[in-house]
Chain A
Amino acid sequence: MAIEIDDHQQPSVELSKVAVSETHGEDSPYFAGWKAYDEDPYHELNNPLGVIQMGLAENQVSFDLLEEYLEKHSEASSWGKGASGFRENALFQDYHGLKSFRKAMASFMEQIRGGRVKFDPERIVLTAGATAANELLTFILADPSDALLVPTPYYPGFDRDLRWRTGVKIVPIHCESSNNFQITPEALEAAYSNAEAMNIKVRGVLITNPSNPLGATIQRSVLEEIFDFVTRKNIHLVSDEIYSGSVFSPTEFVSVAEILEARKFKDSERVHIVYSLSKDLGLPGFRVGTIYSYNDKVVTTARRMSSFTLISSQTQHLLASMLSNKAFTENYIKINRERLRKRYEMIIEGLRSAGIECLKGNAGLFCWMNLSPLLDEPTREGELALWNSMLHEVKLNISPGSSCHCSEPGWFRVCFANMSELTLQVALKRIHIFMEQLRSSTLASNQDYSGCRFLVLQVARQPI
């Protein structure tokens, strides 16, 4: 194609506002850090001075279990010798999804919740990832310029997923460190009033439980309060439980499904759960998300809308096989939990010995680190300056709280499950030295962290 485009010509027809808006959010530091990593990625042997990626909430600790399963069960990846297996699967584009897969998914979700709740496969709607599930629910529950209330700090991707193409707004429910960032009835009411004052119609509350970026589960009593709140206001509740399988201890997670069952499903038609295999199974590339709704109309509509975002039938087939194998899933859930807990304890201990405290967490692939004592000024700028140093001097890409809309500066999300144990130790060592240098020098008061320039070199030379 040899068409030359003249750069000086004005485009003669505009694209939509959506196409040119910034609401995809790709200009935030969240993504800038990613870029720095891409340009200089750490590698144990080939690039020991590179940037260590601690901004990516991926679960890489349990792949061996999946690989072992696939080795033993080749039928999951293929379609058997019979003629009909492949073609049936290749033709299958029914938006109800493969029945065997929905059943396996429902059963997996039940197992994660220790069998304390039941999920009906007929209420499961499949989507290409939780990204799609959240957007889809937003299209269904709210009209353009309506709002969803979301507790801060929250996953930066929500700014795009919930708002970009839907035209829906996010009004924050401010949470504070004074009570461990728990959602309070006062904060809920304040957010609601805030929206009202701006003449914005609130259609629902969206929580992430366990929370990203806090790495903590929401307590039962808080869930009850949230549910009472949405019932009183007659709005929806979306509970994104994407990290439910990553709770370190099996008894500490309470799903909103349990609250509903305890209340015999009264008022449950306003509740919708989002789930995905991206975090618990570590399969973000396979694009497997689901919506579980207690509302029949939402199920029907979501199912039809899922036409825009169906899961590859090849992938449904693979995962139906894997997830309906109870022996495999029980073992996987157990071992995955233990390994995540071990990683969590390693990072908490490593940070503590460097003099850094984190929010007490019990789930997820990250911890919520408090660096506010290090800030020269307790402002967003102060936080970003520190973040910059962490990125360029200490060579760690971590996520600043401001990108998660945290109302208090100085908090950072640090991922620990997307790297080897060895790499984690290197990262901890770098932090250790960084903190030592801060304590022993007066550079911190000038917000000049350039003394850390040789930090990574020092770490690289040290035995772990």
Chain B
Amino acid sequence: MLSKKASCESHGQDSSYFLGWQEYEKNSYHEVQNTTGIIQMGLAENQLSFDLLESWLESNSDVLALKRKGRSVFRELALFQDYHGFPDFKNRLVEFMAKLRGFKVAFDPNKLVLTAGATSANEILMFCLAEPGEAFLLPTPYYPGFDRDLKWRTGVEIVPIHCTSANDFRITACALENAYQQAQKLNLKVKGVLVTNPSNPLGTTMNREELSHLIDFAITKKIHVISDEIYSGTVFDSPSFTSISEALMEASSDDADVCNRIHIVYSLSKDLGLPGFRVGMIYSYNETVVAAATKMSSFGLVSSQTQYLLSNILSDKKFTGKYIKENQRRIRGRKEMLVAGLRGAGIKCLKSNAGLFCWVDMRHLLSSDTFEAEKELWKRILFGFGLNISPGSSCHCSEPGWFRMCFANISQETLRVALRRVEALVESMDSTKASTLRNATSTTSGAGGDNFNHHHHRRTVRNSRRSWSLSKWVLPSPYDDHETADR
């Protein structure tokens, strides 16, 4: 009765990424009201700098009241549905984007297309650049949402470019070529590569070598490059951020035509912490793409009320300069707190210089070097220790044992609580490791995982010095007579 798109699973809502979210929704941690609830560390939001925005809003109340110099602009805004967007807003956006790139590049507002979030921007680019059944190459691990955003309604396929911890998950020329060959084997025509830079979930920026490989690859294969630079404002440490726009300037001597195939995606959801306002954009050097994407943006325009507000915020150069710096400082502080806390528990992270999360190495906590073991560990962390973190498999990582942990969407105090739970987790693993060795019958199946929890729960309560902290949030096993977690 419904279309194939409606019936298929490509919306990806059955992956662990979303399941963890669901569990969190059922039992959310609260500093006061629900201290045994699940702490959300699977959501890459930036909640660190709202106070700066709030104080700006307080001093600029006429903007909220839709007034300009005392005169109401309500009518103008209410009627403004031009898909070219507010010229003033686009001017401010390209200035802001240039600022984030240290003014090493300049952007033309006429090449900017506004969309309802980066989600919409990425999908629009797929519609513009590929036919159903064609493919884009994406380095793994990648943002789980791409499976839906790039594939669902467009019919485009994703072929992974496998990156490994052997070289800190950097994209190599070899990996690019392998992915391309793999696509050929699958009879898929490759239309381009999509990278996220800074990377989600790695939290690292691409180095010049990687960018150079990428552009060479695009030139040789005559394909597109989409660079999703949504985290460009969250770079808090060296090395500094190199946008593809910069790399392009250096590469242009090799092939001027390649810039017709370079497109940047950006959004205010991460840098300014405003995901609810739905402000995304495509910057393309290709006029035909700009024209087509502009028309397509009709299906997801940015509210004129919101364009007006943000246009005003971004025009306050003093404010934005201050905001960018302070925001980056706070992100760095949080990241260091998480990294130090994890280190204390014997857990390492990939060295990162950007993003709102860390890429955490828990391979040593796996019962075996498999994705089943990773899933078990993830469930144990979620149900046994009340932390929703994203398992690497949901990001299509080729090595089991890596997890993404977000640190900017919770308070400092909550982060401390989370770190204590991580310590408890590690301690419980130390003691269960001993009992696992004794217990040759430990299972690795999904159902067995629950038994694992239950079976070892009683042992760990006995063995752990912190048994009180376990019993508070370990969910009752199926064999107990307690109420379920559906509170």
- Point out the residues of chain A lying under 8 angstroms from B302, CB to CB: 287, 312
* 0/1 string, A302-335, CB within 8 A of B gives 1: 0011011111111100100000000000000000
A301 and B2 within 8 A (CB): yes
CA distance A2 to B66 in the complex (A): 38
Tell me if B119 counts as interface (CB < 8 A to partner A): yes
B117 at the interface (CB under 8 A from A): yes
Which chain A residues numbered 135 to 172 have a C-beta less than 8 Å away from chain B? 135, 139-144, 146, 160-161, 164-165
Is B417 close to A, CB under 8 A? Answer: no
* Structural contact, B278 and A311, CB atoms closer than 8 A: yes
Judge whether B256 and A309 touch: CB under 8 Å: no
Complex-state Cα separation, A16 to B123, whole angstroms: 13
Q: Which of A129, A297, A305, A312 contacts B277 (CB 8 A)?
A: A312
Which of A1, A11, A285, A304 has most B Cβ within 10 Å?
A285
**Which bracket fits the contact residues of A?**
35 or more
Q: Which of B76-84, B232-240, B358-366, B461-469 contacts A (4 or more CB under 8 A)?
A: B76-84
**Set B50, B75, B223, B245: member contacting A90, Cβ < 8 A:** B50
Which of the candidate stretches A59-67, A102-110, A212-220, A450-458 sits at the interface with the other chain? A59-67
Q: A92-B276, A310-B117 are in contact. Are A13 and B13 (CB under 8 A)?
A: no
The A68-94 residues at the B interface (CB cut-off 8 A) are 70, 74, 77-79, 83, 86-87, 89-93
* CB-defined contacts of A283 to chain B, threshold 8 Å: 78
Q: Does B148 contact A (CB under 8 A)?
A: yes
A19-27, A174-182, A344-352, A407-415: which lies at the B interface?
Answer: A19-27
Q: Would you call A70 and B277 a contact (CB within 8 A)?
A: no
Interface set, chain A 197-248, CB cutoff 8 A to B: 203, 234, 236
B108 touches A1 (CB 8 A): yes
Q: Which chain B residues lie closer than 8 Å to A18 at the CB level?
A: 127-128, 292
Report whether B127 and A314 are in contact in the complex, using a CB–CB cutoff of 8 Å: no
Contact B305 A308 (CB under 8 A): no
Residues of chain A within 8 A of B74, CB atoms compared: 63, 66-67, 70
Pick the contact of A314: B11, B123, B191, B303 (CB < 8 A): B303
Q: A13-B222, A20-B292 are in contact. Are A131 and B299 (CB under 8 A)?
A: yes
Q: Do B305 and A90 have beta carbons less than 8 Å apart?
A: no
| Residues A140 and B6 in contact, CB atoms below 8 Å apart | yes
Q: A18-B127, A139-B5, A312-B303 are in contact. Are A3 and B278 (CB under 8 A)?
A: no
Option from A17, A19, A308, A313 in Cβ contact (under 8 Å) with B123: A308
Choose among B65, B80, B278, B298 the residue that contacts A70 (Cβ–Cβ < 8 A): B65
The verdict on A12 contacting chain B, using a C-beta distance below 8 Å, is yes
Instruction: Give the docked Cα–Cα distance between A283 and B149 (Å).
Output: 28
A19, A78, A284, A304: the one contacting B127 at CB < 8 Å is: A19
B277–A90 CB distance below 8 A: yes
CB distance from A68 to the nearest CB of B (A): 11
Asked if B13 and A304 sit within 8 Å, CB to CB, the answer is yes
Q: Which residue of A lies closest to B245 (CB)?
A: A1
For B54, give its contact among A5, A83, A139 (CB under 8 Å): A83
Q: Please determine whether B300 and A132 come into contact, CB atoms closer than 8 angstroms.
A: yes
Interface string of B290-334 (1 = CB under 8 A from A): 001001101111111110010000000000000000000000000
Say yes or no for A15: interface residue by CB 8 A criterion.
yes
Separation of A304 and B18 alpha carbons in the complex (Å): 12
Answer whether residue A4 sits at the interface, using C-beta atoms and an 8 A cutoff: yes
A270 CB, min distance to chain B CBs, angstroms: 8
Encoded as 1 (CB less than 8 Å from any B CB) or 0, chain A from 98 to 141 comes to 00000000000000000000000000000011011001000111
Report the minimum CB–CB distance from A330 to chain B (whole Å): 21
Interface 1/0s, chain A 234-273, versus B by CB < 8 A?
1010000000000000000000000000000000001000
CA gap between A17 and B256 in the complex, in Å: 24
* CA A12 to CA B218, docked complex, whole Å: 11
User: In the complex, how many angstroms separate the beta carbon of A36 from the nearest chain B beta carbon?
Assistant: 17
Q: List 9 A-B contacts (CB under 8 A).
A: A1-B108, A3-B256, A3-B285, A5-B256, A13-B223, A70-B74, A270-B1, A287-B303, A301-B2
Which 5 residue pairs spanning A and B have beta carbons closest together? A313-B276, A285-B304, A312-B303, A19-B292, A285-B80
A140-B2, A286-B304 are known contacts; what are 7 more A-B pairs with Cβ within 8 Å?
A: A67-B74, A77-B65, A139-B153, A161-B298, A164-B296, A307-B149, A308-B119
